């Protein structure tokens, strides 16, 4: 079922539904309860690692919020092309990776109140969800319940939990666990891409250099803080059944790990001992910007 495009769904709804892949419990500390009795030990370990990735990743609205706070205008060139969605549906791994990409793009669109575009991307997410066996979480009743509870945060979290239980109860085989894990990889990379590209494309004439560095500093810091989620994602990939996509993602993400552990190690030390004179600058993460763009390019190609 393709959702009818309508303006009645708020941005809050779009963010939550579009990111259902990424928030097992709306970023709270409780885990969803699923019956793991029929899962192998390896599959149970993968589910635990998925929970850890979700816990360590920033909340779904954090990156879009920081992007908008920089004062940068909405840039449609940063998000993945909507027309590419149909091409991803023919290959499960590609569909899973780009489901995460599009879900993160919905957060970016929604933060800039691009409601109609966000609905289009929600439809793309739905197509990809169907192609990896998770399309059943979308239904009219669910959307109606979201609309009726927009002012009640607790109710929204409960509904999100129900969505994830519905999705996770169908994950009794390693193929679907792989799809969920790859969706998280796509989301992680796209979040990093949006943040690094806002830094890289921020207009030079908008602010004086010192003021520009000050505005972008929270984004630079947020990117530096993504080392632990990166390590979590790599560990998750290594525990999945090997295939060409998994091996490629491990190889690509390991390049970022090396950059964090070598290029940025001294930068982390400088932040820790900062006496007030040290200032984070976009140029300090230049290699991360380049590598994230390359990896993301491979995913959306």
The answer to whether position 89 is within a domain reads yes
Structure tokens at 97: 């990776």
Of 195, 182, 167, 197, residue with least CA distance to 246 = 182
Cα 72 off chain centre by: 20
Residue 78 lies in a domain: yes
Domain of 235 in residue numbering reads as: 11-300
CA distance linking residue 301 with residue 94, whole number of Å: 9
The CA distances from residue 18 to 101, 268, 275, in Å, are: 10, 33, 41
Domain assignment present for residue 5? The answer is: no
In a domain, residue 97? The reply is: yes
4 domain residue, yes or no: no
Residue 191 C-alpha from the chain's centroid = 5
Domain count of the chain? 1
Domain membership flag for residue 129: yes
Residue pair 47/171 in contact by the 8 Å Cβ criterion: yes
Is residue 1 in some structural domain?
no
pTM more than 0.85: no
Asked whether the beta carbons of 282 and 238 are under 8 A apart, the reply is: no
Q: Report yes or no on 109 lying in a domain.
A: yes
Tokens, residue 2: 């393709």
Tens digit of each residue's pLDDT, the chain (301 residues): 444 444 344 444 444 444 444 433 333 334 444 445 556 777 777 777 777 777 777 765 567 778 888 888 899 999 999 999 999 999 999 999 998 898 888 878 877 877 678 778 877 887 888 888 766 555 566 556 655 665 554 565 566 556 555 554 554 444 577 888 898 899 899 999 999 998 898 888 888 888 888 888 888 888 888 999 999 999 999 988 888 999 999 999 999 999 998 877 777 677 677 666 677 777 888 999 999 999 999 999 9
- Please name which of 221, 190, 201 lies closest in space to residue 72, comparing C-alpha atoms: 201
Q: Which residues of 208-242 are buried (b: 16+ CB within 10 A; e: fewer)?
A: eeeebbebbeebbebbbebbebbbbbbebbeebee
């Amino acid at each position: 079922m393709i959702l009818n495009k309508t303006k009645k769904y708020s941005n809050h709804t779009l963010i939550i539904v579009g990111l259902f892949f990424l928030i097992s419990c709306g970023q709270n500390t409780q885990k969803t309860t699923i019956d793991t009795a029929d899962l192998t030990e390896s599959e149970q370990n993968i589910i635990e690692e998925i929970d850890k990735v979700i816990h360590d990743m920033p909340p779904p609205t954090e990156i879009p919020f920081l992007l908008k706070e920089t004062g940068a205008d909405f840039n449609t060139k940063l998000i993945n092309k909507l027309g590419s969605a149909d091409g991803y549906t023919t290959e499960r791994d590609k569909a899973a990776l780009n489901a995460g990409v599009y879900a993160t793009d919905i957060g970016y669109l929604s933060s800039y109140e691009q409601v109609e575009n966000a609905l289009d991307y929600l439809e793309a997410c739905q197509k990809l969800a169907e192609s990896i066996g998770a399309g059943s979480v979308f239904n009219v009743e669910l959307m109606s319940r979201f609309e009726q509870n927009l002012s009640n945060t607790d109710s929204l979290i409960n509904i999100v939990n129900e969505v994830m239980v519905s999705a996770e109860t169908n994950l009794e085989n390693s193929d679907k666990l792989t799809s969920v894990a790859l969706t998280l990889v796509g989301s992680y990379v796209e979040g990093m891409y949006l943040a690094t590209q806002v830094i890289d494309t921020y207009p030079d004439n908008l602010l004086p250099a010192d003021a520009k560095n000050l505005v972008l500093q929270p984004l630079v810091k947020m990117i530096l803080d993504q080392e632990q989620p990166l390590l979590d994602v790599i560990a998750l990939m290594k525990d999945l059944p090997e295939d060409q996509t998994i091996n490629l993602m491990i190889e690509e993400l390991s390049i970022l790990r090396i950059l964090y552990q070598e290029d940025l190690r001294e930068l982390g030390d400088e932040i820790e001992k900062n006496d007030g004179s040290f200032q984070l600058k976009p140029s300090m993460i230049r290699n991360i910007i380049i590598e994230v763009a390359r990896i993301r390019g491979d995913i959306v190609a």
